[in-house]
A and B are shown apart, each in its own frame.
Chain A
């Protein structure tokens, strides 16, 4: 079961928009960390994902385990949030 979802985004990122569109379509809430507005959290996104890219979607389960999805990747996002 999903406890919460956090998405790291930037203002101009089309793929970030798609992750948000998908979650909205599924009626799922999420927290957004906009790295243009909070550049200090870039390192956190990098540490979690190992990548210098957005979107980074962090799905925290009720047992506090986390799944990190890099990019707009439905093959990984769909099972992670279902």
Chain B
């Protein structure tokens, strides 16, 4: 299908290179839709910085996140996807083409765009978090866990990521205090995997603890102060803190565009995964209503690719009344 003649003019630009983006690229490039992917961070997204992914279909023993990301990249590149390491800073609707501007001010023209920028981990916003960032406060266990061999750690969070990364960090740490504001919200299977570490005393599960402050000195972090459900404060001595308290969408670059976001900043799409800007689609964790699962992101990437093909062939908007879906 490729109609692109100018080097800065493309059939499809995909923003992001996580599972949704790479799956979409596998589909579009196999259909000869010329596809360029822009990634500002890690190819594979959050999946690439996850130790082991146990619930992605087809891997009976699980798969290392880095390995899955690498295989997705190779598969997309095998069919001709081009990956650029850089950041798209803005997107403008100019009718047939969308004008995208990257971090060094270069413009790209795209007949269609897929936004698959995913999400990043939220921050707690408590005192000490910024001050000790990367010097005792961390958001990537697979990157930084090795610095805490035989040290005490605090993990903040109670969802799947917090529990999974706590299990990963047990290979390094002498002890982990897991601080959970209410109750564990992780899947049953992850909680079961965590239980032996609780039973052995390697992990202490602290429910009903709201982190208040991260305290340290010139040598780094030495404790987290948490507020218990009775309102009293308690010290949790530690050498480091890992934070996994939910996700925020990577949509800051869209705030001055006509692309509609929900109140949390996730992109609103219609049932074709198309946004409020024609021929611009969204898939994966960045989309309002996303389930934050790698398998779902891949599925949405495939769906978006097929809809983009219809869009480029002029078939998508023929008989439709566009209705955006606002999900919680």
Within 8 A of A (CB), among B28-67: 40-44, 48-49, 51, 64-66
When distances are taken between beta carbons in the complex, the residues of chain A under 8 Å from B43 are 17-18, 21
Interface residues on B, range: 20 to 34
Q: Indicate if the CB atoms of A71 and B134 lie closer than 8 Å.
A: yes
Q: Indicate if the CB atoms of A52 and B85 lie closer than 8 Å.
A: no
Q: Indicate if the CB atoms of A52 and B220 lie closer than 8 Å.
A: yes
Given contacts A12-B51, A15-B140, contact A52 B147 (CB under 8 A): yes
Q: Indicate if the CB atoms of B134 and A15 lie closer than 8 Å.
A: no
Q: Indicate if the CB atoms of B143 and A51 lie closer than 8 Å.
A: no
Q: B130 to nearest A CB, angstroms?
A: 14
- A22 to B39 Cα, complex, angstroms: 12
Closest to A26 in B: B85
When distances are taken between beta carbons in the complex, the residues of chain A under 8 Å from B136 are 52
Q: B306 to nearest A CB, angstroms?
A: 29
When distances are taken between beta carbons in the complex, the residues of chain A under 8 Å from B44 are 14
Q: B253 to nearest A CB, angstroms?
A: 15
When distances are taken between beta carbons in the complex, the residues of chain A under 8 Å from B49 are 13-15
- A16 to B66 Cα, complex, angstroms: 11
- A14 to B41 Cα, complex, angstroms: 9
Q: A12 to nearest B CB, angstroms?
A: 4
Q: A28 to nearest B CB, angstroms?
A: 14
B144 at interface (Cβ–Cβ under 8 A)?
A: yes
A60 at interface (Cβ–Cβ under 8 A)?
A: no
Closest to B220 in A: A52
| Of A13, A21, A75, the contact of B143 (CB 8 Å cutoff) | A13
When distances are taken between beta carbons in the complex, the residues of chain B under 8 Å from A14 are 42, 44, 48-49, 65-66, 69, 140, 142-143
When distances are taken between beta carbons in the complex, the residues of chain A under 8 Å from B134 are 51-53, 70-71
A54 at interface (Cβ–Cβ under 8 A)?
A: yes
- A42 to B85 Cα, complex, angstroms: 28
Q: Indicate if the CB atoms of A72 and B42 lie closer than 8 Å.
A: yes
Q: Indicate if the CB atoms of B146 and A42 lie closer than 8 Å.
A: yes
Within 8 A of B (CB), among A16-34: 16-18, 21-22, 25
Q: B260 to nearest A CB, angstroms?
A: 30
B78 at interface (Cβ–Cβ under 8 A)?
A: no
Q: A69 to nearest B CB, angstroms?
A: 12
Q: Indicate if the CB atoms of B142 and A18 lie closer than 8 Å.
A: no
Q: Indicate if the CB atoms of B135 and A54 lie closer than 8 Å.
A: no
For the complex, would chain B's binding face be called helix, strand, loop or mixed by DSSP majority? mixed
A44 at interface (Cβ–Cβ under 8 A)?
A: no
Q: Indicate if the CB atoms of A18 and B42 lie closer than 8 Å.
A: yes
B123 at interface (Cβ–Cβ under 8 A)?
A: no
A35 at interface (Cβ–Cβ under 8 A)?
A: yes
Q: Indicate if the CB atoms of A42 and B147 lie closer than 8 Å.
A: yes
Q: Indicate if the CB atoms of B135 and A15 lie closer than 8 Å.
A: no
For B267-308 the 0/1 string (1 means CB < 8 A from A) is 000000000000000000000000000000000000000000
When distances are taken between beta carbons in the complex, the residues of chain B under 8 Å from A54 are 143-144, 146
When distances are taken between beta carbons in the complex, the residues of chain A under 8 Å from B148 are 52
Q: B71 to nearest A CB, angstroms?
A: 13
Q: List 25 A-B contacts (CB under 8 A).
A: A10-B145, A12-B142, A14-B49, A14-B65, A14-B142, A15-B41, A15-B42, A15-B49, A15-B140, A17-B66, A17-B70, A18-B42, A18-B85, A35-B146, A39-B149, A42-B147, A52-B144, A52-B147, A52-B148, A52-B220, A53-B134, A53-B138, A53-B143, A54-B146, A72-B42
Using a CB–CB cutoff of 8 Å, the interface residues on chain B facing chain A are 40-44, 48-49, 51, 64-66, 69-70, 85-87, 103, 134-136, 138, 140, 142-149, 220, 240
* Minimum-distance CB pairs A-B, first 10: A14-B48, A12-B142, A51-B134, A52-B147, A14-B49, A13-B143, A14-B42, A53-B134, A53-B144, A10-B146
